[in-house]
Amino acid sequence: MSLGAPSPEDRSIPSVLVIGTGDTKSDELQFMATMISQAGGKPVMVDVSILSDPPYKPDYSRHDIAKAAGTSIEAIIGSGDENSAMSLMSTGASALVGMLHATGKADGVIILGGSMGTDLALDVAAALPLGVPKFVVSTIAYSHLVPPERIAPDLMMILWAGGLYGLNDVCRAVLSQACGAVVGATRSSVRPRANRPLIGMTSLGSTCLKYMKHLKPELEKRGYEVAVFHSTGMGGRAFEAIAAQNGFVAVFDFCMQEVVNHQNGTVVTSGPDRMENAGRAGIPQIVAPGAADMVDLPAWQPLPAPLADRPYHAHNRLIGSVTTSPDGRRATAVLIGEKLAVAQAPVAFLLPLAGVQEWDQPGEPLHDPEGLEAFTDAMRLAIPASVTFHEIDAHINSPQFSTKALAVFDAWVSQGIIPEGKP
C-alpha cells in the first residue's frame, strides 16, 4: 500500500475510490470500475470485505483497511459479530480514505452497500472535507433509517434499485448513472477557496425570516463570505458539520426551529447536537430564537395527536408548521439555555420581544401573544450567566434587530474576538 503523491501524468485523470465488499458484490463493483473508466476517471478499488478476499485484486485490500484501523483482519473477524466487525472496518476505511485524499490520491469516492455498507459509507463520507465529491449507492437511500447527523454536508445518494443480488438491467442503469455522476463531479467541482473568513447563518425562507436580506450584504461589505443555511433539517445538519470542523469564524444562529423540531420528535430534524457544535469548537456565536415557536412537519401526513389542536400553517405540499403551546415554549427556552451553556467562546443572545417569525404577528395565522410572553419570560431565566443577553423591543424581521446584531458583531471584531474581514 503506497500513499505517495500521484505522478504528473495521472493528474489529468480524476481518481475515484470505489468502495464495497468485493467478496459479495464483485460483479457490481467491477462493473462500476468499468463505467468510471469509460467516463474518463481512474477507478481505485478499496475492498472492505471481512470474511474473504474478492476474486479480483483490489488496490487497497481488507488487510490494508484493518491495518489503518490499528488492528488485523483476524482480530476484526473475532471481534464479536458483524456489527462490531463492520464498525472496525469503517474506522479503518475512514482513516485510509482520509490519508488518500490528503496525499492527492483520491479526487472523489463512490461507495456501494446495503444497510451494512451504508453504515460504513456514512463514516467514510464524513471523513472527507466539503467539496470532495462523495456518492453513496444504497438500498436505503433517503430512508428515515439514515440519521441526519451522520450525513456529510455535500453527500449525494441514489437508490440501489433492484441490485441486491447480482447485476441486471435495472441496477446497471443506476450504477452507470452514479459512476458518471461522480466522475463528472470530480471534473467540475469548485472547491471552497477560503479567500475570505466564512460566517455561517441559519434561517428559513424569506417569507418567514428576513434578517439575512440586510445582514448578508453588510457582512460582505466588511470582507466576509456568508453562507446561509436553510433550517429545514439537512440545512442545519450541514451547518453543524462545518461548525464541528471549525469552518466558521463566527455564526449568526438565528433560526431555532430545528431544535424545536427535534424536541418534538418530527422528522424535520438536524439531530440532537443542533446548536452545539459551534460552541464546542470555540466559535463566537450570535444567537436569536427565530421560529422557536414552531414545529415543522410533513404536510402530507396527519398531524400528531399532541399537536393536532394547535394553529397550523401549510407552507406548501411538503411542509407545514404548527405552533407549540406556552408550556412547550418554556421547555424550548430551557433547552436553548442548556445548549448555549456548552460554548467555549463568547455567545451573545438577542431576544426580540415583538415576535420571532413573520406569521406570529397580529393578523397572521400563528399570532399567539400568550405563547410569546411565556417564551420570553422563560428565556430570560434560561440564559446562562456566561452568555451576554440583549433584549430588543422589536420583531426579529425588523431593521432594529439586524442593526443590533451587526453592532454586536462589529464590537467583537474591534475586540479581536472575530478576525477582521478581507475586503
Q: Digits of tens for pLDDT over the chain (423 positions)?
A: 434 333 434 457 999 999 999 999 999 999 999 999 999 999 999 999 999 999 999 999 999 999 999 999 999 999 988 899 999 999 999 999 999 999 999 999 999 999 999 999 999 999 998 889 999 999 999 888 888 888 888 899 999 988 777 889 999 999 999 999 999 999 987 776 778 999 999 999 998 999 999 999 999 999 999 999 999 988 999 999 899 989 999 999 999 999 999 999 998 999 999 999 999 999 999 999 999 999 999 888 888 888 888 888 888 899 989 999 999 999 999 999 999 999 999 999 999 999 999 999 999 888 999 999 999 999 999 999 999 999 999 999 999 999 999 999 999 999 999 999 987
96 with 230, same domain: the answer is: no
Angle, helices 169-188 vs 26-38, to 10°: value is 40
137 with 203, same domain: the answer is: no
Q: What is the CA radius of gyration of the chain?
A: 24
170 with 213, same domain: the answer is: no
Burial string for 335-372 (b: 16+ CB within 10 Å, else e) reads bbbebbbbbebbbbbbbbebbbbbbbeeeeebebeebb
Tally the domains of the chain.
2
CATH of the domain at 94: 3.40.50.12020
81 with 124, same domain: the answer is: yes
What's this model's pTM, rounded to 2 decimal places?
A: 0.83
381 with 260, same domain: the answer is: yes
* Residue 374 CB contacts under 8 Å (≥ 6 apart), including other chains: 326, 327, 329, 330
79 with 220, same domain: the answer is: no
* Residue 193 resides in a domain: no
Domain final residue, candidates 139, 169, 188: 188
Pick left, alpha or beta for residue 299 (phi over 0 → left; psi -120 to 50 → alpha; otherwise beta).
alpha
Q: Structural domain of residue 241, as residue ranges?
A: 198-414
228 with 158, same domain: the answer is: no
Q: What is the 3-state secondary structure (H, E, C) of 15-45?
A: EEEEEECCCCCHHHHHHHHHHHHHCCCEEEE
Residues 143 and 114 sit within 8 Å (Cβ to Cβ): no
